[in-house]
Amino acid sequence: MLGTLLVAGSVAADTNLLANGDFASSAMASGWTCFSIFGSHAWTADDAGALPASGSIELSASAFGEQGGWNQGLEVCDSACFAVRPGAAYSFGGQSRLVAVAGGAGSSFALHFSCGVYAQSGCSGSPTWLPAPVMSTASDWTAPALLEGALPTDAVSGSCQIQAIADGENGSGTGHFDNLFFMTDIIFANGYD
């Protein structure tokens, strides 16, 4: 049965969402582990009209390149690890929007949402990255991006990641993510449905 992945500790109103994937309060941003290379993350209560007062996670990145040089700014946030069934059907996606982009010639800024699966439990080892949906290149919220497929036959755990990446000389940008989901077979304590 294709259904919702149950992640321990998930209290999302829409159970399709990743644990804390709807970012409806600032506490939900703490459900993601983030690290920065010239970047930052924050929760914002303003979803700019289309999703009023629902909140979102904001990622920003800046590339502090010198004249003739190059650098990259990167903000990455990882979801909690969850169990999956080998070979199961899946779909995942979410919404995003650009808030601000700046930079000189040759600079760029992009948002990414991707999910990876592991042949070992607990998301240990190297992930096999699933094809990633295209995220927004506009200031309006996108319709949920969606990718579907079948998990590798050795996949037993997975996690998802959001990124803001700035490249080039003095490139920078800020974007928001919300309503992130990963859907696959429902997992119960005694097995799969």
Q: Which helix (H) or strand (E) holds 117?
A: strand 108-118
With beta carbons less than 8 A apart as the criterion, state whether 133 and 145 touch: yes
**pTM, entire model:** 0.81
Instruction: Name the token pair of 98.
Output: 């650009």
Taking the chain (193 residues) in consecutive chunks of 10 residues, what is each chunk's mean pLDDT?
Answer: 34 55 82 90 73 78 71 90 92 88 83 94 95 79 79 95 88 90 65 45
Q: Provide the pLDDT for residue 66.
A: 61
Question: For the chain, first and last CA: distance in Å?
Answer: 6
Is 97 exposed, middle or buried, given 0-12, 13-18 or 19+ CB atoms closer than 10 A? buried
**Residue 121 DSSP SS3:** helix
State how far the Cα of 55 lies from the Cα of 22, in Å rounded to an integer.
8
Give me the pLDDT at residue 118, please: 97
26 sits in which H/E element: helix 26-29
Whole-number pLDDT of residue 189: 44
Residues in the chain, total = 193
- Give me the pLDDT at residue 138, please: 82
Contacts (Cβ under 8 Å, ≥6 apart) of 130: 90, 92, 114, 115, 116, 117, 147, 149, 151
Q: Which letter does DSSP use for residue 17 in this model?
A: B
pLDDT in tens, 94-124: 888 898 888 877 788 889 999 999 999 999 9
- What are the extents of the domains in the chain? 2-187
Supply the CATH classification number for the domain 2-187.
2.60.120.260
Q: What is the pLDDT of residue 130?
A: 92
**What gap in Å lies between CA 3 and CA 128, rounded to an integer?**
22
pLDDT at position 68, please?
57
Q: Report pLDDT for 105.
A: 74
Within 10 angstroms of residue 9's Cβ, the number of other Cβ atoms is 9
**What is the per-residue pLDDT for 8?**
31
CB atoms within 10 A of CB 117: 23
